[in-house]
Amino acid sequence: MPLDYVRLFDPNAMRREIATMNRVIHVIDPQNAFCREYGSMARAFGVQELGRIKECLFALEALLSSHPRPEEFVLVRSEYQPGQFSAGDLASPYAFACVPWHGHDCDWSLSDAAVAGKRVVTKFEESAASSVAFMGMLEALINDGLRQVLITGFLTTSCVRKTALDLRASLPESVEIRVLDGFAASRASNYVPDLSGSGRHAEALREMEDAGIHFVGGWGDPGLANRRAG
């Protein structure tokens, strides 16, 4: 059993850590596969896709390194199977995205200081809600008074979107789900309007908002809830 599973399911340790928490901040996939020039996404689709992602990663690094309550954060990392996101085509440059022990895709794109003191959980599908450890952690938090889930990370059009939608569908209405604008991003091409006048990033935000997920315009700025990022 991976170490993160053991930590998350140690009820005594968890209750000591989260006794006074009413929110949790999930950081989805801040890994080389999606954030670095040598990661699978940049190699498959071009380094020009990293513009917004690198800006977001810089903001996340500062937030994680300086926040006074590291226990509020959960770093969510991915481990996938070969061909999982290339329709089984192992010749695709994206076939080994976040496949363990294949290159450095699964490594953090954050510094050791940013990662230090944070809980970690591993997912094996797009949605973090597919992880038994992840959902077990949230259930324990809710039982101890959790009222807000903030979601940050990568990508707004895939793992962030799917996680937010699944959590909204499965968690009690008393628990608010928010995506933190400025700390979540997607590929640069997903911000470009298509023939309908909207890009994939904007469409993903609209889908989440329609499902009852709120948006915070910046760290510590709850007055900007429901603001759509562009």
pLDDT per residue as tens digits for the range 163-187: 999 999 999 999 999 999 889 999 9
% of the chain beyond a pLDDT of 90? 75
Q: What is the pLDDT of residues 89-101, one digit of tens each?
A: 999 999 999 999 8
180, 192 Cβ separation under 8 angstroms? no
Is the pLDDT at 227 greater than 50, yes or no? Answer: no
What are the structure tokens assigned to 150, written together? 């903030």
Task: Beginning with the edge strand found earlier in the chain, give each strand of the sheet holding 73-78 in spatial order.
Answer: 119-123, 73-78, 23-28, 148-154, 176-185, 214-216
Question: pLDDT confidence of 125, banded at 50, 70, 90?
Answer: very high
Question: pLDDT confidence of 214, banded at 50, 70, 90?
Answer: very high
Residue boundaries of the structural domains of the chain: 3-224
State the chain's maximal CA–CA distance in angstroms: 54
The architecture in CATH of the region 3-224 reads: 3-Layer(aba) Sandwich (3.40)
pTM confidence score: 0.85
